[in-house]
Amino acid sequence: MSPQKQPTMSPLDVVILIKMLVSAEETLSQSFLARELFISQSEVSKSLHRSRYAGLVVGSYQVMAHALVDFIQYGIKYAFPQQPGAVVRGIPTAHSMTPLSEFIESGDGFVWPHGRGHSRGHSILPLYPSVVHAARVDPALHEALAMVDVIRVGKARERQLAIQILRSKLLNEEYTDQPHSNVASSPGTG
């Protein structure tokens, strides 16, 4: 008798869970998710199985949003690390994407490599190859996945802002558009 294999999370699982949370669709289905994410229904089915096992989904399509945000905040950069690559043409991600691009000025942009992209920056591999196509047709998904990329490759301040934005988008927590509003300065630091 062979030992049973434990399901392990995949980067695709994070993409699917985020899509479920940002979707305006009232009734989710595997066929809808497959179509919207440019993947097969079997990939969706396997992903939902892994997410249920991990406690990130209960029932058919109820995402445990707080648990997902905790995983993104504390674990994603270790579970699915990324190192910026060569400068290429592509689709903006990380702090090169709004709303962070409004707060962060940097000469180093980040992109998902794509031949039809209109931006240049250091390449960041997306969590899953079809993400680029899905993000091009779903701005809410694009923004959320770009914030995840900030957590994967950004500096501490950028990650803090990205988490605040993700909490707003995925948990409906209030976001003030003032990234320093909840950061107190120490006495004597000006």
**Tens digit of pLDDT for each residue in 75-121?**
999 999 999 999 999 999 998 887 777 777 767 799 999 988 889 99
Mean pLDDT for 135-153 is 95
Mean pLDDT for 52-69 is 94
Assess if residue 127 is contained within a domain. yes
Does residue 131 carry a pLDDT above 90? yes
Q: What is the pLDDT of residue 58?
A: 94
In this structure, the answer to whether residues 18 and 40 fall within a common structural domain is: yes
In this structure, the answer to whether residues 55 and 111 fall within a common structural domain is: no
Q: What is the pLDDT of residue 2?
A: 60
Q: What is the pLDDT of residue 175?
A: 59
Compute the C-alpha angle 33/5/16, nearest 5°. 15
Mean pLDDT, the chain, integer: 87
Q: What is the pLDDT of residue 137?
A: 94
Does residue 178 carry a pLDDT above 80? no
Q: What is the pLDDT of residue 136?
A: 92
Q: Which residues form the domain of 106?
A: 87-171
In this structure, the answer to whether residues 94 and 165 fall within a common structural domain is: yes
Assess if residue 4 is contained within a domain. no
Q: What is the pLDDT of residue 63?
A: 95
Assess if residue 2 is contained within a domain. no
- In this prediction the pTM is 0.86
Distance, first Cα to last Cα, the chain? 67
Closest CA to 21 of 71, 82, 94: 71
Assess if residue 180 is contained within a domain. no
Place of tokens 């948990």: 171
In this structure, the answer to whether residues 165 and 91 fall within a common structural domain is: yes
Assess if residue 177 is contained within a domain. no
Number of domains in the chain: 2
- Per DSSP, 100 falls in state G
Q: 55: phi > 0 → left, psi -120 to 50 → alpha, else beta; which?
A: left
Can you tell me whether residue 175 is helix, strand or coil?
coil
The answer to whether the beta carbons of residues 161 and 100 sit under 8 Å apart is: yes
